[in-house]
Amino acid sequence: MIDAKNEIEIKTSLKIPAGAIRLQIVSGAKSELLKEKGDLVVEKEKSKTTVSFYTGEKINPDSYRSLGGIVAKWIRKNGIKTAALQIPADLDDRDHKALLEGLLLGSFSFDKYKKKEDPVNSVIYLDPSEEILLQTCKTICDAVNMAREWAHEPAAVINPQTLSERAQKFAKQFGLNCKILDDKQLTEMGAGAIVAVGQGSKTPSRMIILEYKGTEKEKPVVLVGKALTFDSGGYSIKPGDSMVGMKYDKCGAMAVLGVLRAASQLKIATPIIGIICAAENMLSQNSYRPDDILISLSGKSIEVISTDAEGRLVLADGLTYAQQNFSPQAIVDLATLTGGCAVAYGHVRAGVLTNNQSLYRELFESGERTWERIWQLPNDEDYAKLIKGKDADIKNSGGRLASPVTGGMFLKEFVSDEIPWAHLDIAGVADLDEATDYSVPGATGFGVRLLVDWLSNRNQ
């Protein structure tokens, strides 16, 4: 259940089976025909087949990751059973790691519900000298692929209830503590915002708290993830077209799970708390409505303008819970929060709203290194006026104007200025309609590599 079943296994071996296809990466361009990244030439010499993949001339920090993905997809598409990849000797560390990551990420597919006539299990062999780096990359990419796989599961399979059960098994497997708060406990606690969002569903809201102890005694980093296991929009219902893909509205939380998984295996120094705010936004006579006034866990009252602006409601209580129960050294939240962020930044960068420039700087640099890139959103107080409540302290929507900013500004109201905090709006990058070189159409697992890099470099 925990591990996505990759159809391509990547391992090291001294002995390469006879008949294995030789794969090589050639930098630059060979000719007019072999000019772009991923262009390839197949050469046959007696029983030996060699496939050369060209990098093309424009190399960026993601080029080798792309190429690794292209190689993995080519293997699968051509039903190759065994292949041996020769890693170019002159690769620097960054490109070397990127190439292995591309192979591992490109091996992921979500085919479990498809009928398969003749499944091929492929193996790509690497030189034994790759073993240590391969293991590190595997740890990280298995975490990404798990985040992707869980995100792909439809709402009939993953809802707040079943996600809690999965989280408990997951915690056991990776040595984490796990606490689940159900809707009754959340109501008693006063978490009126997260409860309201899920009250129209037959599987009501849950808050899932996972704890990785770290190897150092220090205050924890708290990661808060949005897990809308399905978002119909509620009474502010989405048009049919916009509802397809709403199983991916849990991608923020899936990334948090991925980070915890990798952190526990890499033995990252910093203790990490993951808070997953899970709800299903459905329509029924029990659903919350526009005009409702919710009392959040912080005590602030929230006027509901749109029941489709529900991510910020569940996160508000998650952020408050983080501050009431832990003393975080920093908080990062991840959410597919606003379509407006996708409109502004496309599928290239996640938007970030923060109260702390040095935290932003660290995250930005991790983003450039991992190519899970971010860009800052403004946080001028002027924007807060757009979400000032009429009959309550604050309202949950300021309309279309500056929507990624007002989404973040809403959350900022629930975080102490004393705690470094960053909100990652991943709506444009968490799931894509089209495949990339190392991702199938659907969930990308965005955020796992970014935050693992950030946490790994934090104490150095």
C-alpha–C-alpha distance, residues 370 and 367, integer Å: 5
- Shortest Å, Cβ 310 to Zn ion: 5
Which region, judged by CB under 5 A, interacts with Zn ion, from 82-90, 301-309, 317-325, 427-435? 301-309
Which region, judged by CB under 5 A, interacts with Zn ion, from 92-100, 191-199, 223-231, 291-299? 223-231
C-alpha–C-alpha distance, residues 460 and 455, integer Å: 10
Which region, judged by CB under 5 A, interacts with Zn ion, from 116-124, 163-171, 198-206, 306-314? 306-314
- Shortest Å, Cβ 428 to Zn ion: 15
Q: Does 425 bind Zn ion (CB under 5 A)?
A: no
Q: 120, 79 in Cβ contact below 8 A?
A: yes
- Shortest Å, Cβ 157 to Zn ion: 20
Of 157 and 243, the one with the shorter C-beta distance to Zn ion is 243
Of 427 and 455, the one with the shorter C-beta distance to Zn ion is 427
Of 403 and 439, the one with the shorter C-beta distance to Zn ion is 403
- Shortest Å, Cβ 414 to Zn ion: 18
**Token pair for residue 111?**
């085919």
- Shortest Å, Cβ 281 to Zn ion: 6
Q: Does 308 bind Zn ion (CB under 5 A)?
A: yes
Active site residue 369: no
C-alpha–C-alpha distance, residues 337 and 251, integer Å: 10
Which among 93, 113, 175, 101 is positioned nearest to 144, based on CA atoms? 101
Residue nearest to Zn ion (CB): 308
Q: 158, 150 in Cβ contact below 8 A?
A: yes
> Which position among 142, 231, 431, 453 is part of the footprint of Zn ion (CB under 5 A)?
231
DSSP-derived secondary structure for 241-273: HHHTTGGGGGHHHHHHHHHHHHHHHHT-SS-EE
Active site residue 238: yes
Which region, judged by CB under 5 A, interacts with Zn ion, from 75-83, 146-154, 200-208, 231-239? 231-239
Torsion angle defined by CA atoms of residues 11, 12, 16 and 17, in that order, rounded to the nearest 10 degrees: -30
Tell me which of 226, 312, 369, 449 is the catalytic residue: 312
**Token pair for residue 198?**
């899920």
C-alpha–C-alpha distance, residues 345 and 214, integer Å: 34
Phi (first) and psi of residue 366, to 5 degrees: -60, -35
Q: Does 95 bind Zn ion (CB under 5 A)?
A: no
Which region, judged by CB under 5 A, interacts with Zn ion, from 150-158, 226-234, 294-302, 419-427? 226-234
Strand partners, 84: 22, 125
Judged by CB under 5 A, how many residues of this single chain contact Zn ion? 3
Tell me which of 179, 238, 300, 458 is the catalytic residue: 238
Instruction: Give, as ranges, the residues between 55 and 94 that touch Zn ion (CB under 5 A).
Output: none
- Shortest Å, Cβ 233 to Zn ion: 6
DSSP-derived secondary structure for 403-447: HHHHHHHHHHTTS-TTS-EEEEE-TTTSEESS-BTTB-SEE--TT
Catalytic residue positions, numbered: 238, 312
**Which spans of this chain sit near Zn ion (rule: CB under 5 A)?**
231, 308, 310
